[in-house]
Structure 1
Amino acid sequence: MEHFIIDAHSHLWLRQDTVVNGRRISPLPNGRADFMGEERQMLPPFMIDGRNTAEVFLSNMDYAQVAAAVVVQEFIDGEQNEYLAEVARKYPDRFFVNGMCEFREPGFLPQAVGLMDAGFRGLAIPAHRLPLEDGKRVWLNSPEMMELFKEMERRGVILSITLADGDMQVAEMKEVIEECPGLKVAIGHFGMVTTEGWMEQIKLAKAKNVMVEAGGITWLFNSEFYPFPSAVRAIKEAAAEVGMDKLMWGSDYPRTITAITYRMSYDFITKSKELTDEEKHLFLGDNAMRFYGFRNLPVLPYVKNMSE
């Protein structure tokens, strides 16, 4: 078997311009953003126009020998359905894209059905933002959500979901999994591994069709920095609980590459002596290839750097 590297958690956008909890997020020059009233380096500084496009990402992927990527969506980036549909048409073998609805308000079901009718094979829910700042809360086991999940299960559409820190939404998610045992679910951000109760999210992957992806794990262990030994230990701990065949690597591109290179977001795994070759193959690509059904992946050669 040929082993490929697949990124199970990334982001793309043409323009990041939206409002979350009444606070604006909008692009500034040189890769920066006005992020809820604070200036942040949202993109690497060479991405000067604020555009986070598939073509730039593909250049990074080819250089780092990453064969394919799953693109999720987040409210802080604004809805990108039209652009991601275009990306899927242009690069069907390189990207699996997720649609996103306005899940913070009731009445999202028709839009979700429309996205599935339009060909989206996955939907992303940034559920960690559903406990709203005004004290309201959108419940994952609400009637409209459950109707959506049952329709996704019927159609074979994958759910990519990031949960609030710890076990806040775990009971709701358990009910979803029990009611929709055929629904394929990817739990994001490795259960927010640096927060108390993270293992409760990991345990959800004991269910047959549930996986966990490690998008942003280098961000979560950023204070420790490369080569992220605590991240490797957390991966081993999670594997001991649910099996390495339930875990997938994810980069959280492009946000994480303001601190490290794209290759560094996974090569701390390839260089680790704490994991076997088989565990590395499963985590870095084999599991994602099976779960998302990637086919016709390119074999990407290593290109020597000028500094070597």
Structure 2
Amino acid sequence: MMSRRQFGTSALAAGAAFASQKVSAQPSKRRIVDAQVHLWKAESEDWKWVPGMKPQMPEPFTVEKLVPLMDQAGVSRVVVVPPSWPGDRNDYALEAARRYPDRLAIMGRVALKNPQAAALLPKWREQPGMLGVRLTFLGATQGWLADGTADWFWPEAEKAELPVMFLTDGQNAQMARVAERYPRLQLIADHMGIGGNTPKEGRIADAVSQTASLAKYPNVSVKLSAAPNYSSEAYPFRDFTPHIQRLFEAYGPKRCHWGSDMTNGYDKATYQQRITHFTEELPFLSEADKDWVMGKSILERLRWA
């Protein structure tokens, strides 16, 4: 039989052990990495918009606006995706990455109509902050997937080991031939495959289905981004839960990437809500899944050390 002193000593030891277990069982601080934010400065004589195009917001969204939002929301890093309205230029994104090299990196734009741009790809990642390429096949450019315009790009990007983000107007099924023909080319489907007129035409479910069909290719991953922008509901955007879950189950946590795309539909959700949508409102995600989706997966996919 234990003495009172022995009992007390044993209880203290057990309590210390329990406290130690509680501490070790707590997850480490999650690293949040936003897989897509557009940055742009005001239009000027030497920084003109493409005729007929306009920004997503009336005011410029500059790096001075982004970084405080990152700090407030607890976002460690952001992948800067240069927008389409200034044309195929990356200069402002490169400037932002130079100013914040530990927090910002870039998926730059390439002039697909100019095959001579192939000469730029072998040294693409030598540009400070540049991680890969982002292509858009929307509006006047949506036919480039099928008409041969983009054909020169895929083998050159694979050879240069450049990851590629792509956005189509609900045409992701056309990317199957690219994924199959170039298995070493890392392809990232943007916005679940939803872009352009897809939402207006009621083709969201079909676009998600096309994107899910690409999951059989190991070199394809998906950005689970932009749900607030396309949802017909307020936060937490329950109408998109089935779409997000379908893609998550198809690709798994290591091939799914959270992204805010916050400037598209800026007034539909705060930055914090775009984060808590995934960290608090999707019950099918485990804590380990969230670690991957909210940051680890995009860092690994883009080789962003």
TM-score of the superposition, structure 2-length normalised?
Answer: 0.76
Cα distance, 1:148 vs structure 2: 1.9
CA contact (8 A) 1:96 1:292 kept: no
Which residue among 172, 175, 178 is the counterpart of 1:176? Answer: 178
The aligned runs of 1:257-276 (5 Å cut-off) are: 257-272=266-281, 274-275=283-284, 276=286
Shift in alpha-carbon separation, 1:113–1:228, aligned structure 2, 3 A = same
The aligned runs of 1:126-275 (5 Å cut-off) are: 126-131=136-141, 137-139=143-145, 142=148, 145-165=150-170, 168-171=171-174, 173-192=175-194, 195-198=204-207, 199-221=209-231, 223-272=232-281, 274-275=283-284
SS in 1 for 2:294: helix
Q: Does 1:64 align with 2:73?
A: yes
CA root-mean-square deviation: 2.6
CA distance in 2, matches of 1:209, 1:232: 25
Cα distance, 1:114 vs structure 2: 8.3
Shift in alpha-carbon separation, 1:237–1:264, aligned structure 2, 3 A = same
Instruction: Show the counterpart of 1:47.
Output: none
Q: Does 1:116 align with 2:143?
A: no
CA contact (8 A) 2:39 2:83 kept: no
Amino acid in structure 2 at the alignment position of 1:15? A
Greater shift, 258-267 or 60-69, is seen at 258-267
Unaligned runs of 5+ in 1: 26-32, 34-40, 44-49, 296-308
SS in 2 for 1:289: helix
Shift in alpha-carbon separation, 1:140–1:238, aligned structure 2, 3 A = same
Q: Does 1:288 align with 2:305?
A: no
Q: Which structure has the highest helix share of the two?
A: 2
Which residue among 264, 269, 287 is the counterpart of 1:277? Answer: 287
CA distance in 2, matches of 1:178, 1:141: 18
Shift in alpha-carbon separation, 1:232–1:102, aligned structure 2, 3 A = same
Amino acid in structure 1 at the alignment position of 2:177? E
Q: Does 1:42 align with 2:50?
A: no
Unaligned runs of 5+ in 2: 1-27
Q: Does 1:91 align with 2:93?
A: no
CA distance in 2, matches of 1:291, 1:4: 15
Instruction: Show the counterpart of 2:91.
Output: 82
Q: C-alpha offsets along residues 207-253 of structure 1, whole Å, 9 cap, x if unaligned?
A: 112110023111111x2110112223322121222223221111112
Cα distance, 1:130 vs structure 2: 4.8
CA distance in 2, matches of 1:78, 1:263: 30
Which residue among 4, 13, 18 is the counterpart of 2:49? Answer: 18
CA distance in 2, matches of 1:205, 1:92: 32
Cα distance, 1:273 vs structure 2: 5.6
Amino acid in structure 2 at the alignment position of 1:126? T
If asked which structure has higher relative contact order (CA below 8 Å, sep 6+), I would say 1
CA distance in 2, matches of 1:95, 1:280: 21
Shift in alpha-carbon separation, 1:69–1:273, aligned structure 2, 3 A = closer
Shift in alpha-carbon separation, 1:156–1:84, aligned structure 2, 3 A = same
Shift in alpha-carbon separation, 1:52–1:64, aligned structure 2, 3 A = same
CA contact (8 A) 2:82 2:93 kept: no
TM-score of the superposition, structure 1-length normalised?
Answer: 0.76
Cα distance, 1:206 vs structure 2: 2.6
Instruction: Show the counterpart of 1:29.
Output: none
Amino acid in structure 2 at the alignment position of 1:23? G
Instruction: Show the counterpart of 1:6.
Output: 33
Shift in alpha-carbon separation, 1:273–1:85, aligned structure 2, 3 A = closer
CA distance in 1, matches of 2:87, 2:81: 12
Percent of counterpart pairs with the same letter? 23
Shift in alpha-carbon separation, 1:169–1:235, aligned structure 2, 3 A = closer
Shift in alpha-carbon separation, 1:141–1:186, aligned structure 2, 3 A = farther
Q: C-alpha offsets along residues 149-196 of structure 1, whole Å, 9 cap, x if unaligned?
A: 21211222111110112xx3522x111112211111111011119614
Instruction: Show the counterpart of 1:304.
Output: none
